[in-house]
Chain A
Amino acid sequence: MPATTLAPHAITLPRPSFELVHATLPNGLRVVLAPDRSAPVVGVAVLYDVGFRSEPEGRTGFAHLFEHLMFQGSANLEKLAHFRYVQSSGGTFNGSTHPDYTNYFEALPSNALERGLFLEADRMLSPRITDENLANQIAVVKEEIRVNVLNRPYGGFPWLELPPVLFDTFPNAHNGYGDFVDLESATVDDAADFFRRYYAPGNAVLTVAGDLDPEQTLALIEKHFGGIPQRRVARRPNFGEPRLTEERRASTVDAHAPIPAVAIGYRVADPVRELDEHLANILLTELLSDGDASRLQRRLVQRDHLVTDVSAYLGEFGDPFDERDPTPLTITAHYPDAGSLDRILRGVDEELDRVANDGLAEGELDRVRTKLASTLFREMDAVISRSLNFAKFELIFGRAELISELPDRLSAISDIDVQQAAEALRPDRRAIVELIAGGAQ
C-alpha cells in the first residue's frame, strides 16, 4: 500500500447538531429535551447538584449512601417497586455519585416515557427511607467498597489515595466512598436533612433525549413534577484551591498489588471559568498518553521500558467535563521495578519540558484534536449517554449546547496554548503518591 494515501490533509471536524428545548418549571426544576426519533427509545436523567464534595464532616460516603437510598421506595412506591417498574417496561436504570453531582437515570422503550417521568418525580417528591432500608443499604455499600476497593489490587487508586495529598480542604481531600465508621453512624434523620437541603427541584436538571415530542413531553413533565413544592436552594460554595507551590510526596501500601504504581496530581484551571485553558489541558493529556504515538507511551513504555502502562487525564474518574473547580490533572503509571520511580518522574518532566520548550510536531495537535472530537461524538450515540451528557453540561457549565460547540472551541486551541499548559506542570506544582506493592511475590 502506498504510504502517500495517508498524507496529511486539511482538517475539518464534523460538527454534530442537536435540537435542544429548554424550560424551567415554577418550582425551579430545569428541563432539557433532546428529541431524536430515529429509534423508539428514550433516556431520562435527573442530576442533583450535590456530590461527595458537599457531604458533611463525620459523614464521609453519605452522598453515595443517599444515592442508594433513593432506590428504596418513594411517595407512592414500595421497596423494590422502582426496579421492577423500569425493568418490566423493558428498560434499564442506574445512579452514580460524582464529586459535584449525583445522577439517576433510565433507558426505556419510548412507550414507557411517562412511567419513567413518574418514577423520577415520585422520589424527587419524597424517598421512603426507613431504619430497615438504611441498615440494608449500609451493608450493600460496604460490600460495594469491599469488592471495588478493599479486596481489589489498585482498588481506590488513585481516586481515593491522591486527593488527601493533592488537596487541603475536607470537601476535596476526604474519602468519597466513605469510612465504615461514618457509614455505620448514618441515621434516617441525616437522610431527611440531606434530602431537604440538596434534593429540591431547583437544585436539579431533568433531561429527556430520544423518541419524544417536545410539547407532549413538557406537558407530562409539568403533570408529574409540577406539583413538587419549591424549596430554598442553598448557594453552592466554591471548592477551588490555589495552585501548589512546593512538591508533596506520600506513599500508601496496597496489600493485593503485585507491582508498584504512582499517581502524579496537579491543581489546574477551573473548567467553567477558564474553559480554553481547560481545553488546552485536555489536548495536552491526550497528546501525552493517548495511543502508541503519544509522548509518554513512546518515552516510558516503548523507549525506556520503565512502565507497564501510563495514562494522563483530567477529572477524578477520567471525564474532563465532570467536575467544577477543582478538576485535577493526573498522570498514573504501573511499573515493575520499585527502584525506578525517580527515572519515571524524570522522564515525565523531560517530556513536559520538550512540549513546553520545543513545541509540537507538524500535525500533532490536529490528529489529537480529531481523535478527541471523534471520541466525544461516539459518547453521544447511546440515547442514555446523550441524556446524561446534556444534563451534565447544563448543570456544570450552565449550557447543554456547549457539547455541540466543543469541536469549534477545540479547533481554536493553538500549539502555544498546549505548550503553556505543559509549562504549568512543574515539579513544584505536583503531589505524588507512590503505591507500594504489598502483594509482590
Chain B
Amino acid sequence: MNAPALNATVPALGAPRRARKLSTLERTLDSGLRVLVVRKPGVPLVEVRLRVPFLSARAAHAAKAALLSDSILTGTDNFDRADLAAAVQTLGGDIGFGVDADRLQLSGNVLATNLRRYLDVVADVLTAATYPGKEVVAERERLVERLTIARSRAGVVAAESLAKRMWGDHPYALDLPETDDVQAVTAAQVRRLHRDLIRPEEAVLVIVGDVSAPRTADLVAKALDGWTGAPAANRIPPLPPIDAAPLLLVDRPGSVQSSLRLGASALRRDDERYPALQLANLIFGGYFSSRWTENIREDKGYTYGPHSGIDHHALGSFLQMQADVATEVTGPALLETVYEMGRIASLPPTTDEVESARQYAIGTLALSTATQSGLASTLAALTGVGLGPDWLAEHPRRLAKVTLDEIAAAAAEFFAPTRFATVVVGDAASVRGPLAALTPVE
C-alpha cells in the first residue's frame, strides 16, 4: 500500500517536564510497624499494601502459608465471612491477601472518605481472624483444585522446574506448595502460623492516595494500636549457588509449543552496578525493541513474545528469561537465544541501543509510578528489600549516568550463557534430538 508522505520527519522530543515531588511521610509506630504514606490525588481512592515478612524454612511452610492466605478473610471475632466481605464492599473497597516465599501481602483499596472504617476492618482481620474449621477445610479443597489447574499450565510447570533447578531444597524452590502438604494442613496450624508471623514489628504498611499524609498516619496509629508483637524467631537458610548445566527437559506429551526458561543470579537494586545491568537486560530482551524480540519474533516468527527480566527477592535478585516457541523450532529458538546471550556478553552494545534503553527505563519508571496502585505496589516491593521512596526518586539520575562501558561490563559478567540454569517443557519425543544437538540434555 503506497500513499503520499505527509510529514516525512519524525518530530523531535520537547523539553521534559519534571514530575511533582511526592509528599511522603514515614513513621514507625510503637508496635514497630513502619508506616509509609504518600499523598497522591487523582481518583478519590486510597491504595493500601501491608507487607509482612513470611520467609520460613519450616516443614510444609508454603502449604500452611497458602492456606492461611486463602482463609484469613473467612471470619473474625466480630464478623462472619459474608459480613466481612459486605462491610468492605459497603465502603467501596476491596481487600485481598497473597503470599510468596518472601512475604504475605494485604492489597486493597477503598474510597478515600472511608479509609478510617476500612482500617478498622483491616485491624479486625489482623488481630481477630478466627479461621473457622469448616471454612479452612473448604478452602483447603479449593486450594488443591486450584493447584491442579495451575499445574496443568505449561508455564507453571516450567517456572516450578526452573525454581527447583536453581534453588534445590531452599524455600525459594517451592513457587507453589505441594498438594500433599496442603492436604495435611489443619486449622490449628494455620492459626498458629498467624500468631507466629502476622506481627507488626518487621512489617510495612504503605498507603497511597487522595489523603492527607499526617492525618492518615494518625488514623493508622489509632486503628492498629491493638496489633502488637514481634514475629517468632526463624532461621533463614542462605541460597545455594545456582547449578547451571545440563538443560532439563520436562516432557509434556503432545505440547504444540515448548516453554523455554532460563535463570541465573543478578544484582540487587542497591548494588552500584545495578543500573548498568538493568539497561543490559533491556537491550538483550527486556522490552520490545530488544535484540531477542527483534530476532525470534519480528524476524523469525518463532514466538509471540520472549521476555527477560530481573526478579527481586528478599535474599537476592535473578535474571529470568522466558519464551514459548513452536515445537518444531525449539532447537533453532534455543540456538538464537544462546547466540544473543553470547553476543551481548562478548561485544559492547551500540550508543543507540544504550540511549533507547536508558530513555525507556526512565520513562516507564515514571509511568508505572504515576498511578496510585502502581506507586503503592512499587513502594511495597522496595520496602521488602530495605529500600524506599528515596531510591525511587534517585533512580532516574543513576540511569542517566550509566556509561556504555559499564553496561558492557555488566553484560559480560551476567549474560554469559554458561551461568544459566535452563529448562524446556515440551513434547520430549519431538524436541529432545534438536536440543541435544546444541547442549547436553537431562
Chain A residues at the B interface, C-beta cutoff of 8 Å: 1, 3, 5-6, 8, 13-14, 16, 38-41, 75-77, 79-80, 83-85, 87-93, 107-115, 117-119, 121-122, 125-129, 135-144, 146-148, 150-154, 191-192, 195, 211, 223-224, 227-228, 255-259, 290-294, 298, 301-302, 305, 308-309, 334, 336, 363, 366-368, 370-371, 373-375, 377-378, 380-383, 439
**With A80-B289, A87-B356: A1-B124 Cβ-Cβ less than 8 Å:** yes
Partner of A368, one of B42, B79, B89: B89
Query: Could you say which residues of chain A place their CB within 8 Å of the CB of B92?
Result: 13, 370-371, 373-374
Complex A-B: 21 CB contacts under 8 Å:
A6-B117, A40-B19, A41-B366, A75-B4, A87-B287, A88-B359, A108-B363, A109-B17, A147-B303, A150-B257, A151-B324, A153-B153, A259-B145, A290-B89, A292-B73, A293-B86, A305-B141, A336-B141, A370-B89, A371-B93, A374-B45
Give B82 Cβ to nearest chain A Cβ, in Å: 5
User: In the bound complex, do residue A84 and residue B1 qualify as a contact, i.e. CB atoms below 8 Å apart?
Assistant: no
B residues 130-157 touching A (CB-CB < 8 Å): 135, 138, 141-142, 145-146, 148-149, 151-154
User: In the bound complex, do residue A258 and residue B152 qualify as a contact, i.e. CB atoms below 8 Å apart?
Assistant: yes
Residue of B nearest to A292 (CB): B85
User: In the bound complex, do residue B257 and residue A146 qualify as a contact, i.e. CB atoms below 8 Å apart?
Assistant: yes
Residue of B nearest to A364 (CB): B86
**With A80-B289, A259-B145: A111-B14 Cβ-Cβ less than 8 Å:** yes
Query: Could you say which residues of chain B place their CB within 8 Å of the CB of A5?
Result: 117, 120
User: In the bound complex, do residue B324 and residue A126 qualify as a contact, i.e. CB atoms below 8 Å apart?
Assistant: no
The yes or no answer to B297 lying at the interface (CB within 8 A) is yes
User: In the bound complex, do residue A38 and residue B41 qualify as a contact, i.e. CB atoms below 8 Å apart?
Assistant: yes
Residue of B nearest to A334 (CB): B149
The yes or no answer to B78 lying at the interface (CB within 8 A) is yes
Give B32 Cβ to nearest chain A Cβ, in Å: 21
B residues 86-120 touching A (CB-CB < 8 Å): 86-94, 109-111, 113, 117, 120
Residue of A nearest to B364 (CB): A92
User: In the bound complex, do residue B10 and residue A126 qualify as a contact, i.e. CB atoms below 8 Å apart?
Assistant: no
User: In the bound complex, do residue B11 and residue A115 qualify as a contact, i.e. CB atoms below 8 Å apart?
Assistant: yes
The yes or no answer to B16 lying at the interface (CB within 8 A) is yes
Query: Could you say which residues of chain A place their CB within 8 Å of the CB of B123?
Result: 1
Q: Which of B234-242, B268-276, B368-376 makes up part of the contact surface?
A: B368-376
The yes or no answer to B304 lying at the interface (CB within 8 A) is yes
Partner of B111, one of A114, A370, A383: A370
Partner of B367, one of A91, A129, A290: A91
User: In the bound complex, do residue B373 and residue A90 qualify as a contact, i.e. CB atoms below 8 Å apart?
Assistant: no
User: In the bound complex, do residue B17 and residue A374 qualify as a contact, i.e. CB atoms below 8 Å apart?
Assistant: no
The yes or no answer to B196 lying at the interface (CB within 8 A) is no
Query: Could you say which residues of chain B place their CB within 8 Å of the CB of A298?
Result: 82
User: In the bound complex, do residue B45 and residue A305 qualify as a contact, i.e. CB atoms below 8 Å apart?
Assistant: no
Partner of A146, one of B14, B152, B326: B326
Partner of B362, one of A8, A90, A256: A90
The yes or no answer to B15 lying at the interface (CB within 8 A) is yes
- Beyond contacts A90-B363, A147-B303, A292-B73: 5 other A-B pairs, Cβ-Cβ < 8 A, are A75-B5, A127-B1, A146-B304, A224-B6, A336-B145
Query: Could you say which residues of chain B place their CB within 8 Å of the CB of A107?
Result: 367
Assembly CA distance A93 to B92 (angstroms) = 31
Assembly CA distance A144 to B109 (angstroms) = 33
Interface string of B300-332 (1 = CB under 8 A from A): 111111000000000000000000111000000
- Which residue, of B2, B81, B94, B148, has the highest number of chain A Cβ atoms within 10 A? B148
Instruction: Count residues on chain B whose CB falls below 8 Å from chain A CBs.
Output: 99
Query: Could you say which residues of chain B place their CB within 8 Å of the CB of A88?
Result: 289, 355-356, 359-360
Query: Could you say which residues of chain A place their CB within 8 Å of the CB of B145?
Result: 259, 308, 334, 336
Residue of A nearest to B84 (CB): A292
Query: Could you say which residues of chain A place their CB within 8 Å of the CB of B390?
Result: none
Assembly CA distance A76 to B123 (angstroms) = 59
Query: Could you say which residues of chain B place their CB within 8 Å of the CB of A154?
Result: 149
Query: Could you say which residues of chain B place their CB within 8 Å of the CB of A256?
Result: 152-153
Which 7 pairs show the lowest CB-CB distances between chains A and B?
A90-B363, A139-B301, A374-B92, A292-B85, A126-B3, A88-B356, A293-B85
Assembly CA distance A290 to B326 (angstroms) = 38
User: In the bound complex, do residue B148 and residue A259 qualify as a contact, i.e. CB atoms below 8 Å apart?
Assistant: yes
Partner of A258, one of B13, B74, B149: B149
Give A413 Cβ to nearest chain B Cβ, in Å: 16
Query: Could you say which residues of chain A place their CB within 8 Å of the CB of B16?
Result: 40, 109-111
The yes or no answer to B288 lying at the interface (CB within 8 A) is yes
Query: Could you say which residues of chain A place their CB within 8 Å of the CB of B5?
Result: 75-76
Query: Could you say which residues of chain B place their CB within 8 Å of the CB of A13?
Result: 92
User: In the bound complex, do residue A301 and residue B142 qualify as a contact, i.e. CB atoms below 8 Å apart?
Assistant: yes
Assembly CA distance A84 to B352 (angstroms) = 10
**With A87-B288, A108-B363: A363-B370 Cβ-Cβ less than 8 Å:** no
Residue of B nearest to A189 (CB): B1
The yes or no answer to B298 lying at the interface (CB within 8 A) is yes
Interface string of B259-298 (1 = CB under 8 A from A): 0000000000000000000000000000111000010011
Query: Could you say which residues of chain A place their CB within 8 Å of the CB of B79?
Result: 3
Partner of A136, one of B6, B20, B255, B301: B301
Query: Could you say which residues of chain B place their CB within 8 Å of the CB of A137?
Result: 301
**With A75-B6, A143-B301, A144-B304: A109-B324 Cβ-Cβ less than 8 Å:** no
User: In the bound complex, do residue A87 and residue B371 qualify as a contact, i.e. CB atoms below 8 Å apart?
Assistant: no
- Which residue, of B2, B18, B85, B141, has the highest number of chain A Cβ atoms within 10 A? B85
The yes or no answer to B254 lying at the interface (CB within 8 A) is yes
**With A89-B363, A258-B149: A370-B73 Cβ-Cβ less than 8 Å:** no
Give A172 Cβ to nearest chain B Cβ, in Å: 26
Residue of A nearest to B361 (CB): A90
User: In the bound complex, do residue B109 and residue A378 qualify as a contact, i.e. CB atoms below 8 Å apart?
Assistant: yes
Query: Could you say which residues of chain B place their CB within 8 Å of the CB of A292?
Result: 73-74, 81-82, 84-85
Query: Could you say which residues of chain B place their CB within 8 Å of the CB of A126?
Result: 1-3
User: In the bound complex, do residue A257 and residue B152 qualify as a contact, i.e. CB atoms below 8 Å apart?
Assistant: yes
User: In the bound complex, do residue A367 and residue B355 qualify as a contact, i.e. CB atoms below 8 Å apart?
Assistant: no
User: In the bound complex, do residue A128 and residue B1 qualify as a contact, i.e. CB atoms below 8 Å apart?
Assistant: yes
Assembly CA distance A278 to B122 (angstroms) = 34
Query: Could you say which residues of chain A place their CB within 8 Å of the CB of B370?
Result: 39, 41, 382-383
User: In the bound complex, do residue A377 and residue B367 qualify as a contact, i.e. CB atoms below 8 Å apart?
Assistant: no
The yes or no answer to B214 lying at the interface (CB within 8 A) is no
**With A381-B373, A439-B152: A111-B41 Cβ-Cβ less than 8 Å:** no
**With A39-B370, A151-B256, A292-B85: A140-B304 Cβ-Cβ less than 8 Å:** yes
